Chain A
């Protein structure tokens, strides 16, 4: 695993019991969303497998979420636009490290910074190229990058060209 540092609230025992009071529960769910997102982003993991996620259990304080609570937290995570169900049976979630709109902004800022304005690069270069090292979208899900680019294309800030394979699709930043 990575050197992900768990937030302090991960060791707060009632964090693993869904709170009965609405205001507290809303806060709790927001903390879970944040945790799931940060954990997967830090570890560069793109998928959350519902029945097999280490986050649900904290051995250190002997607390774990029961199945219903896992379900609730996952649904809330997806409903907030932080992820998408990958399958009908809702067993896997594609994690949106960032929401497409946020990523679109990152892409644009990056192109500006690294002199890609007016240049063409491939989708592969964006997710795995040397120039994107350290960028928020490095290693990001291709689908997610595409969605961010689609937003930019709509705004007329990029143009997308078909390549031989999907990874070779080109992007021109204006």
Chain B
């Protein structure tokens, strides 16, 4: 750091001294500085990376088994623009084998989403994915919400429609390629919201009240959600006399986040 500060200070003095010479002098200085800086940065980065690797190796167990620790470690890596997950070639990646762990989470999360697809139409709350993964046992008993979010984001690269959709701050995994327009997610958000009727439920009139859409627009959005199996039709309200309501499986059965 000391080297860098001195450099900047000198530069300022010179630049303010005289008028015409300034640009060429500044350029020379900038070149000088850049080279110095670059070398400095390179050195710091490589020492940082080796420190990080040392740290990671020392704490490999905690990183693998403690979700909170892992999450902090990954945040630290992200700040340094290092990706220990996808870079298996790097020392860090291979030392940790942390990438393997996320691949495993991704594959198992995909499995869980596929298995529940016919019920929820491919919309599954991350909480539910977590619960099901933990039930699978072995390496998954301590999987965290962050792990799943991260894994799904890696899965998304492969296509197949895997992505995270957030409804009222609750993350859901969408595992079908169906394109969800903002109208669709708006309707799902109405279902997610506690303020409007029961959780997991929406009706045409409710959408009208909340969003002010025309009946036609609401119906079109609802139709897609029903067709894709994301919403179930309920004609049994008020002894079968009420207008149909629609229920979203994954929102209805959403578990509150009990632990982390």
Interface-lining segment among B104-112, B166-174, B234-242: B234-242
Q: Pick the contact of A19 from B233, B239, B245, B253 — CB < 8 Å?
A: B233
Q: Are B236 and A24 in contact (CB under 8 A)?
A: no
Which one of B121, B233, B239, B253 contacts A14 once the chains associate, using CB atoms below 8 Å?
Answer: B233
| Contacts A/B (CB < 8 Å), 20 sampled | A8-B253, A12-B253, A13-B245, A14-B232, A14-B234, A14-B236, A14-B245, A14-B247, A16-B234, A17-B232, A17-B234, A19-B233, A20-B233, A21-B229, A24-B118, A26-B118, A27-B119, A31-B119, A62-B236, A62-B239
For residue B245, which residue of chain A has the nearest CB?
A13
CA distance A19 to B119 in the complex (A): 11
Main secondary structure of the interface of B (DSSP, over half): mixed
Q: How many residues of A contact B (CB 8 A)?
A: 21
| CB atoms of A16 and B253 under 8 A apart | no
Q: Chain A at the B interface: mostly helix, strand, loop or mixed? A: helix
Contact with B along A1-19 (1 / 0, CB 8 A): 0000000110011111101
Shortest distance from the beta carbon of B8 to any chain A beta carbon, whole Å = 64
Question: Which residues from A are CB-within-8-Å of B226?
Answer: 20-21
Decide: A24 and B229 in contact? CB cutoff 8 A. Answer: yes
- The interface of chain A, by Cβ under 8 A from chain B, is 8-9, 12-17, 19-21, 23-24, 26-28, 31, 62-64, 66
Chain B hits for A20, CB < 8 A: 226, 233
Smallest beta-carbon distance A54→chain B, Å: 17
Docked Cα-Cα span, A23 to B235, in Å, equals: 18
